[in-house]
Each structure stands twice: as structure tokens, then as C-alpha cells.
Amino acid sequence: MTAIVLDGVSVARKTEQQLSDRVKSIRSKKGRPPILATILVGSDPASRTYVKMKQNACKRIGMQSVAIELPGTTTTEQLREKISALNSDILCHGILLQHPVPQQINERLCFDAISLQKDVDGVTCLGFGKMSMGQNTFGSATPRGIMRLLDAYNIDLAGMHAVVVGRSPILGKPMSMMMLNEDATVTMCHSKTKNLPEIIKSSDLIVGALGQPEYIKASWVPDGAVVIDAGFHPDGCGDIELGPLYDRVAAITPVPGGVGPMTINTLILQSVIAAERVM
């Protein structure tokens, strides 16, 4: 068996072509393009790189991005004030607060300060609740991107046993709820789960979202499974030992080039949707 490679780069590129036309339509009707505000607190090099990638994606489809950079000494209240000002700015359609923020900031309070209508990264508790209940709202960008990637390759989740390894509030938890909403039977696991290899061996689909390099071993993954690796580490590997799996699973996301491009693409897509909703 040769695995279908779930190519996030090609899916994102195709979507960008479509989004460019939608941005042109918004510009023709409103006289200005959609605007995504990106907030970077501190000088973490990786965070700066991620923000730049998102700004470049905006540029490619004709959107405008407004870069807000705050010092590493910023307080929770100062950051919330900045978010509040963006919530009130009718020219701003989406708000991205780059994760992580410095330790002295209460990240959850700041995420939840973002208006639901501008929560294009899907990080608020309110947005998570509405998504879990099947209401029309923006979802967390990475799991929503994974769902879009599965849909692009016509992978039907109904009846599948999906094992999600990781319980992050912006990845593992929303991923589990999105798959449950598509009629998968979901088992959520984490680093404290007992008998993790045995649970994974019973799965039809695995999502690695634990944040530890190659934590999930290839020997745990059953033949014919769908393998989604949402991790990315400095040495270029993900959360799953992918190498031995390409010739025995049904479908697999490469690292890099699988989930990552879909995360950024989903953020941009949801920003365009946010702008269309206020036209």
C-alpha cells in the first residue's frame, strides 16, 4: 500500500487563488481590502517568523495586514486595551494574537477579550463552545485546517475511530469536537494516558498533537490508518514517527508541508469570511 500524501501546500495554494477573487470583490464593494491585525508581544524569533508568514499570506491574496508589536514587558491589562481598541475599529476584520505571550500575561484573558466576530484564529472560549454545539462560528485554525484538508481528499470521518493525542485548548480539544461533529467516534489521549500504544492500534485515524518530537511510534499505527501529524519541531520532524508509515497507511500528512500550510490558510480564509459578513 502506498499512502495518499495529504498535501497542504497544494490545497492552500488552490484556496488562495479563490480567495484573491473574493478579496477583489470586497475591495470593489467597500473600496478597501479586508484587514487582519497581528499582535506580537515580545521578541521570540519563532513567533516573529510565524507572524511574518501570516502577513505574507495576506499579501499574496491582496489582503492588508496591520502589524502591532508590543514590548515583552507588556501587562495583561495593556494587551487587553489594545485588543479592545481593535474590536472597536470597523476597518479591522480579524485579530490574531500570536501564541505564546510572555509569562506575566494571562493569555486566556487576552484571548477571550477578542470579539467573537473577529476571532478568526478561533481561540476564544465562546467560539469553542459555539463550535462544539455545531453553531456557525470560526474554529481554531489548525484543527479547522485539518478538517479542510481531509475534506479536500474526500476522507469521510463518519464511523471512523479517531484517536487525538493531545489536549491543547486550541488544537487537541477543538480537533476532537470537530471530528465528533462529523460523526467520528473520538478518543482523546495525552501524555498521561495509560496503554496509549494499544489505543492507537485500535484507531482508523490518528492525530498527533502532543508537541513532543516523534512521541508516537510507527509501530503503534495500524496498517491502513489515516495519519495526521500536527507537530513541527526544530529538527524538521513532527509528533509521529512518519518515515516507516508511507508504505502501509492509507493517507498521511508530510512534515513539513501538511498541516502547517493549512493553519495559515484557514486563518486567512476566516479573515475573508469575517470581512464578507460585515459588507
Amino acid at 126: L
pLDDT of 1 over the 90 cut: no
Does the structure show a pLDDT above 90 at 179? Answer: yes
Which is it for strands 226-229 and 205-208: parallel, antiparallel or unpaired?
A: parallel
Active site residues: 54, 98, 121
Q: CATH 3.40.50.10860 in the chain: give the residue spans.
A: 31-115
What is the fold, at CATH topology level, of the domain defined by 141-260?
A: Rossmann fold (3.40.50)
- Cα–Cα distance measured from residue 191 to residue 265, given in angstroms and rounded to the nearest whole number: 29
- The separation between the first and the last C-alpha atoms of the chain, rounded to the nearest angstrom, is 49
Start-end of CATH 3.40.50.720 domains in the chain = 141-260
Task: Give me the amino acid identity at 187.
Answer: T
User: Distance of alpha carbon 262 from its chain centroid, rounded?
Assistant: 7
**What is the model's pTM?**
0.96
Each residue's pLDDT tens digit, 86-133: 999 999 999 999 999 999 999 999 999 999 999 999 999 999 999 999
Superfamily of domain 31-115: Leucine Dehydrogenase, chain A, domain 1 (3.40.50.10860)
Residue with cell 512534515: 255
